[in-house]
Amino acid sequence: MPGEQVCEVVITAADADWLAGFTRRLVEDRLAACGHQTAAIRSVYRWEGAVHDEQEARVALHTRVTLVEQIVARADAEHPYDVPCVLAVPVLGGNPAYLEWVLAMTDRRG
């Protein structure tokens, strides 16, 4: 689709294996072209009146801006957290061939 924008969607979870499986399902369903996962990150956050310091996993998905809403909906339905971290970050540029690949891999017509 001409003019289609690519973005990166960041998702975190306490269980790296769960996050890898979730990522795989998104790629299989063409909601993301790929996911680059970091198995161990440290998250410091406030939740329910207390400050937490926990280990989590993080994935950076490469996808179309138009698919972000569907990814958020899937995370809301499947993620073990009450309020999962799902952030879409704009991609300002990059390797044109890679950006075309992301668009091709998330084209649900093919």
Q: What is the pLDDT of residues 57-89, one digit of tens each?
A: 999 999 999 999 999 999 999 999 999 999 999
CA distance 12 to 52: 15
pLDDT of residue 1: 44
CB 88 within 8 A of CB 69: no
CA distance 18 to 38: 13
Query: Does CATH place domain 6-105 in 3.30.70.260?
Result: no
Closest CA to 73 of 60, 64, 61, 86: 86
The dihedrals phi and psi of 21, each to the nearest 5 degrees, come to: -65, -40
Average pLDDT score over residue span 43-48 = 96
CB 32 within 8 A of CB 67: yes
Look up the pTM and report it.
0.93
Kindly tell me if the per-residue pLDDT of 17 is higher than 60: yes
CA distance 110 to 91: 24
pLDDT of residue 83: 96
